[in-house]
Amino acid sequence: MNYYLDLCAGFSCLAGDCPYTCCAGWNILVDDASVRRFAGLEQEGLREDILSHLTKKNGKYYFMHQSDGKCWMLEEDGLCRIQRNLDEPSLCATCRKYPRLAARIRGDHWISMAASCPVVAEYLWQQKVGWRTSGERGDGPDAGSSSVLRQLGREKEGLPVGWERGRAWQEIAWKLAEGCAQLLLEFREHPYFPGSFDYFEQEELSEGRMAEDIRSYERALGAQMLAFQQNYSGYRLFSRYLEKPEETEWERYCQIQGEILLMDVICFSCYSSDPGWSRKEASLVLAWVYRFCAHGSRLSQKVNQMFQKILVSVEGWAEKT
């Protein structure tokens, strides 16, 4: 059987119109089959261009980075030189696959998509997550996240969401702002989302003022944020399992709860710091949060440890996982 996020079927890359790029800040592994294919290209100029921008580390090939961290194959208009001159099937496996997350579990194929892609982030922010199955029973809509998660042997469908933004939430918000500031120096992809923690950098901020700002934020985005949290919880349990099946449930739940909280805190900061900020920008916040939290094994591990430490340190919050 195949289990897959319903967005997979109709996914279309924004290419040069993408507000981010999947071609920057991380090491793009080039599989051996692709290296051989590139070496056999008839177009001499393109062949030499590609091969001259490959580097080998520990027996594996990677594309080199430009000074700004972008892949050498990425042009100024945001398009890949390989895809422009050839086609998508000619890309290396890493680039063909993104943003899909795939794994084989107990003989079944599982496919989700990474929220670091703005198309996926917009889907998660605006639409209800749906799953499909295909295989022995044909193709059709699945019963939903709960059915998919039961297939993974997970008793919980998601995490408790819809928390009050009281003292505990405020304490977490301050700790997230401080903890992320320390880790941002290690984040090469997109170091800072504008307005992320501006609210928490004010010199004088009273409890009364913050409580008033929280009420304003809840009136504007509270309902949609709650729907998003419920949506994201089930989606992320599934996708995180595909990314890191070796994680304990505690580590996974802390990761997911931390990502949801960070999304909430950044949206609150942006909304409260900039009167012109639009809720439409929330999906870009999500894409940034996912990149920061999930891209890169070392940074991802440190982010997970930060989430665990913060959630345990706030009285009563750890029970929410």
Q: What is the pLDDT of residues 288-315, one digit of tens each?
A: 999 999 887 888 999 999 999 999 998 7
Residue-range domain boundaries for the chain: 23-97, 167-320
Phi first, then psi, for residue 85 (nearest 5°) are -90, -20
pLDDT band at 134 (very low <50, low <70, confident <90, very high): confident
Q: What is the mean pLDDT of the chain?
A: 85
- Reading the block at residue 170, the tokens are 């405020």
At which residue do the structure tokens 């398009």 appear? 79
How many other CB atoms are there within 10 angstroms of residue 169's CB atom? 18
CA 140 to chain centre: 27
- Reading the block at residue 264, the tokens are 């909430």
Q: What is the pLDDT of residues 88-122, one digit of tens each?
A: 888 999 888 888 888 777 777 888 899 999 999 99
Q: What is the pLDDT of residues 197-224, one digit of tens each?
A: 999 998 888 889 999 999 999 999 999 9
Calpha distance 220→256 (Å, rounded): 24
Calpha distance 162→120 (Å, rounded): 22
Comparing CA positions, the residue from 249, 143, 276, 266 lying closest to residue 200 is: 266
How many other CB atoms are there within 10 angstroms of residue 248's CB atom? 9
**What sections of the chain are H helices per DSSP?**
7-10, 32-39, 44-51, 81-85, 93-97, 118-126, 145-151, 167-183, 207-243, 249-273, 282-294, 297-313
The pTM (predicted TM-score) of the whole model is 0.85
Q: What is the pLDDT of residues 169-196, one digit of tens each?
A: 999 999 999 999 999 888 877 677 888 9
Calpha distance 41→56 (Å, rounded): 20
Comparing CA positions, the residue from 303, 299, 182 lying closest to residue 254 is: 303
